[in-house]
Structure 1
């Protein structure tokens, strides 16, 4: 219901309980790494490494792309499979 003096909505108070979750990296799943070349003034190069499964593979791809093109700025994405272990409501 709006406040009669200002015609603004009345303040409401909501309370939320927290649900605690612990996330654990799944040791049976391979991690995934990917890099995208973002070197460029108007727009990034956009060349991507594709998905690789070790940091060494990613570093090697970046080094090779840098050597071939002189490009030196990259965005890196790291992904891992997690298992959520629910905790208790608090």
Structure 2
């Protein structure tokens, strides 16, 4: 029979969780990628995309050219990098 059944009071339990620390390090052997999608529009987004580019300057140039051609001024930018997890210690 549990303690709560005998005494009528709920049993309190304490759980302790340990944290595992992981450090994410950018892999120096890979290039980051940048991409932009035009999200200008009232009923729906324009949807034009730069595709994956490996230099931030190329992305800025694509945005400037698309803006000049269409007048669109809102973009969603994504930056991707390959990371390596370096395990740390339990805390």
The TM-score normalised by the length of structure 2 is 0.82
Cα offsets for 1:13-33 (capped at 9, x unmatched): 543210001111111100000
Q: Which residue of 2 aligns with 1:77?
A: 78
Which is further off, 73-82 or 13-22?
13-22
| Alpha-carbon distance change, 71 to 12 in structure 1, aligned in 2, over 3 angstroms | farther
Q: Which residue of 2 aligns with 1:56?
A: 57
1:9-88 equivalences in 2 (<5 Å): 14-88=15-89
Q: Structure 2: give runs of 5+ residues left out of the alignment.
A: 6-10
Structure 1 residue runs of 4 or more that deviate by more than 4 Å after TM superposition = 10-13
Q: Which residue of 2 aligns with 1:7?
A: none
The TM-score normalised by the length of structure 1 is 0.83
Q: Structure 1: give runs of 5+ residues left out of the alignment.
A: 5-9
Does the residue aligned with 2:88 lie in a helix, a strand or coil? strand
Specify which structure has the higher proportion of helix.
2
Is the radius of gyration larger for structure 1 or structure 2? 2
Question: What is the number of equivalent residue pairs in this alignment?
Answer: 85
CA RMSD of aligned residues (A): 2.2
